[in-house]
């Protein structure tokens, strides 16, 4: 009776070289070089200025807009795109939402819906 085939049977087996323990692919020297390069890249990146957190009342208003299904789905688009789509479809989205989105256009906390836990 033939044994059942396993998925690993289709891959070639590799032999380990002498003196190399299993599971180690690089020397520690190479690892330190990678860390140094990563640190340099981080230091070279310009930091974006942190924006003040939006008003909690504004965020509550936007959360209610996000949760109301009468304006259509909101995945994959910004809140302003969703508002404009609802307006084009004649769904009468609230005007203060559009005003707030245009006022805080450069703040990603306001522009995009947050799908995190706690809402």
Which range marks the domain in which residue 82 is found? Answer: 71-111
Give every CB contact of residue 82 below 8 A, 6+ residues apart in sequence: 71, 72, 74
pLDDT in tens, 79-106: 999 999 999 999 999 999 999 999 999 8
Please check whether residue 55 lies inside any domain of the structure.
no
Please check whether residue 61 lies inside any domain of the structure.
no
From CA 79, how far away is CA 44, in angstroms rounded? 33
pLDDT in tens, 19-65: 666 665 555 555 556 555 555 554 444 445 567 788 899 999 999 99
Question: Is the overall model pTM greater than 0.75, yes or no?
Answer: no
Contact between residue 107 and residue 52 where contact means Cβ atoms under 8 Å apart: no
Count of domains for the chain: 1
Please check whether residue 4 lies inside any domain of the structure.
no
Please check whether residue 92 lies inside any domain of the structure.
yes
């Amino acid at each position: 009776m033939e044994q059942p085939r396993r998925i690993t049977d289709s891959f070639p087996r590799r032999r380990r070289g002498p003196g190399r323990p299993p599971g180690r692919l690089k020397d520690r020297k190479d690892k330190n070089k990678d860390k140094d390069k990563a640190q340099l890249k981080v230091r070279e990146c310009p930091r974006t200025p942190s924006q003040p957190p939006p008003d909690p009342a504004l965020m509550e208003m936007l959360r209610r807009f996000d949760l109301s299904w009468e304006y259509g789905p909101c995945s994959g688009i910004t809140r302003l795109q969703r508002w404009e789509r609802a307006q084009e479809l004649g769904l009468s989205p609230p005007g203060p939402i559009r005003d707030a989105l245009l006022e805080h256009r450069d703040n990603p906390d306001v522009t995009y819906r947050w799908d995190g836990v706690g809402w």
